Chains A and B, each alone.
Chain A
Amino acid sequence: MTESITRRRFVQGVGAGAAIAGLAPAGGLIGTAQAAGGPVVVGTWGGDYQNLMDQYINQPIIKPTGYEIVFDTGQDTARKTKLLAEHPLPRGSMDVVALTRAGGYEMWKNDTLLELDPKKMPNYSHVLDKLRTPYSIPHIYTGRVILYNPKYVKDKPTSYNDLWNPAYAGKVGVIDIQYGTTIESAAMIAGGSMSNYEPGKAKLLELKKAGVKIYPTNEAMAAALKTEEVWMCIMWKARGVMWQNAGIPIEIANPKEGIVLYISDQVIAKNAKNKDGAYAWLNGLLDPAAQIQFAQNMGYNPTVDNAPIPADLKARIEFPPEVTYLNQDQDYLAKNDGALKDWWDKEFKA
């Protein structure tokens, strides 16, 4: 018979190893509860995202309250693995964890997250209804759109179908790390749905036949758009706005199939050492002034209703009232993500 999850032993082994090697800080990270104040470990993506959080949330809002924010920078898969591995322990190594909406849902289903108490976050009452969950605070959000170069794409795209227009064959790019959303977009115009990406596969193979270009990262796609190597791609609107700011010759079009939301969540680990500090941090993330900074610096929409952004910026990052917003089917994604990635690697990219 197999025994469920060896995480306890795994983490104990790692902890013991660290202790033997003298790596465990004296009286520190392993196994001590925190009094008021003290360190709050925030597992997050690095780069601009972390810098802005430090500059507009940590320094002005959290530091004066006596909490010391420690950023644990890395990719979200590593953070999910840590949450799962540390789940059986009374105290985990992270207090707050930044995850995508799908990642947060997966961790919630695995019982690793704390159900949030909105009363402990005064700013929570301003969170937009469409973004709420019982276990996360939505930090920033945007939606999926089509980016195109108006010099070559004369008619503004209105549907994901326009990427399949033979006139643009060989001039459409997709991004390797966005495999899930790319298959999902194809499914939306091929008879699939948010709960069935299968029809998107054949549709994507047509695009492959037409000579689609595959780029490893968002940044590689930005470079290809700048050099006009490709004219069209699927992307998050916030990125499109940032790329426009960087002088990349693109316009943004909303697909009529609907705007799929991208939400960057932050959650509290069930075994967080400093839960009060974690709540203080989450409340800080929803601070209106900080939310405005994320809109200005990264092109993401505020997740609260009390953060007015300048009209010109609002016109660029918000969506018109007539668009339909779509949420991903997190159950479907949790079950099928691995298989979708397999198909992407073995069939589409091969």
Chain B
Amino acid sequence: MTSAGAIAWRRAGAMAPASLLVLAFLALPMLLMLRYSFNSFVPGKFMVEALTLENYVKLATDPYYRHVLVLTLGVSVCVTLLTLIVGWPVAQFLARTQSRHKGLMLLAVVLPLFMGNAVRAAGWMVAFGREGLVNRLLEAVGLIEAPLQIMFTPTAVIIGIVSVNLSYVVLTLSSVIEGIDRRAEEAALSLGATPFETWRLVTLPLALPGLLAAGVLSFILSMNAYATPVLLGGPSFQMMAPVVADQVLQRANWPFGASLGFVLMLVTLGLTAGANWLVGRRYGR
């Protein structure tokens, strides 16, 4: 009989190739960037080797970067809530439908993922422009007289990121809802619960792990959004990922770009872990 130790070793062996790949292509470059974040930047000199905290001090003390971080957090929370609210009914419908077109419906949800974020944002730019589809429609039905400024507003960015994240959220939620035993809901209904009570007291708690996973996914994607805020938010709307890119690509300031990137990653990880812990404690997961 195979001992438990041997099984553990075999499992470790099976995981080794993937783990080594992750280590080589994800962890090591990140460690290199962490090291860069302690270097100094002298304009025109690329990078001067040092061991200084000046980049992190600048980040913590400069209100501009704090504002960028807070704005990114605010947008990400809004986007996450919106995707969950909008995505849930779609996911529940997909999970419960008996239609023979279910496959096609799922394909329709996945279809937006076939094109890149930048292409999708370009589509929104056409729709949101002063002469764009949205303004034309609103004018045609007499809701507005002069074109609305939609491009380069937080609304445009939030709509853009929601449209990107919705597919992920719907797919995650529907697979979880599909796994919930319908008999539990039917039992609640037969015992006199209203449909809303059934949803609140039975379906929602059972779907909570999926809801958390979908929320975390949407939150992480929003925190790191690049193309959508750049294209739809315009020059004055600054989120973290574009600011990191600006430091590295436009100013060649790798040390500060690296420190911004690390703070973004740590804040995202911290909040994700915190949410996981809170939900786990509340519902005893």
Contacts and interface: CB of A to CB of B under 8 A. Distances in A.
- Do A and B come from the same complex? yes
Contacts of A176: 235
Given A216-B234, A229-B130, A337 B43 contact: yes
B37 to A, nearest CB: 13
A346 B63 CA distance: 9
Interface in A1-26: 2-7, 10, 13
B101 interface: no
Given A77-B250, A335-B43, A349 B48 contact: no
A215 B44 CA distance: 27
Contacts of A215: 234-235
B271 interface: no
Contacts of B49: 2-6
Nearest to A87: B46
Interface string A215-231: 11000000100010100
B20 interface: no
Contact of A346 (B39, B64, B251): B64
A346 B238 CA distance: 10
B61 interface: no
Interface stretch (A78-86, A114-122, A236-244, A247-255): A78-86
Contact of A338 (B43, B50, B130, B238): B43
11 contacts: A2-B48, A3-B49, A5-B48, A6-B49, A77-B250, A84-B252, A110-B45, A176-B235, A214-B235, A227-B130, A337-B43
A324 interface: no
Interface string B64-92: 10010000000000000000000000000
B220 interface: no
Contacts of B32: 13
A315 interface: no
B234 A5 contact: no
Interface string A322-350: 00000000000011011001000110011
Interface string A93-131: 000000000000010011000000000000000000000
A3 B253 CA distance: 17
A6 B39 contact: yes
A345 B235 CA distance: 9
B218 interface: no
A6 B32 CA distance: 13
A182 to B, nearest CB: 12
Nearest to A80: B252
A65 interface: no
A80 B248 CA distance: 12
Given A2-B40, A77-B252, 13 more contacts: A4-B48, A4-B49, A84-B252, A85-B46, A110-B44, A215-B235, A216-B235, A227-B130, A229-B130, A334-B43, A335-B43, A345-B64, A349-B238
B47 interface: yes
Most buried by A among B43, B46, B48, B238: B46
Contacts of B236: 214, 349-350
Interface string B230-256: 100011101000000000011111000
A349 B238 CA distance: 10
A5 B41 CA distance: 10
B186 interface: no
A216 B230 contact: yes
A32 interface: no
Interface residues of A, number: 34
Closest A-B pairs by Cβ, 4 of them: A176-B235, A84-B46, A2-B50, A346-B64
Contact of B131 (A3, A5, A110, A227): A227
Nearest to A78: B249
Given A216-B235, A341-B251, A5 B44 contact: no
A133 interface: no
Interface string B13-52: 0000000000000000000100000011001111111100
Contacts of A158: none
A345 B64 CA distance: 9
Contacts of A7: 46-47
Nearest to A220: B234
Contacts of A110: 44-45
Contacts of B46: 5, 7, 81, 84-85
A331 to B, nearest CB: 11
Interface string B248-271: 011111000000000000000000
A75 interface: yes
A80 B43 CA distance: 12
Contacts of B129: 223, 227
B249 A77 contact: yes
Contacts of B43: 334-335, 337-338
Contact of B44 (A3, A75, A106): A106
B252 A6 contact: no
B44 A109 contact: yes
Contacts of B131: 227
Contacts of B64: 345-346, 350
Contacts of B67: 350
Contact of A81 (B50, B230, B252): B252
A216 B249 CA distance: 16
A176 B236 CA distance: 9
Contacts of B39: 6
B171 to A, nearest CB: 32
B45 A5 contact: yes
A337 B44 CA distance: 10
Contacts of A229: 130
Nearest to A20: B24
Interface in B197-235: 230, 234-235
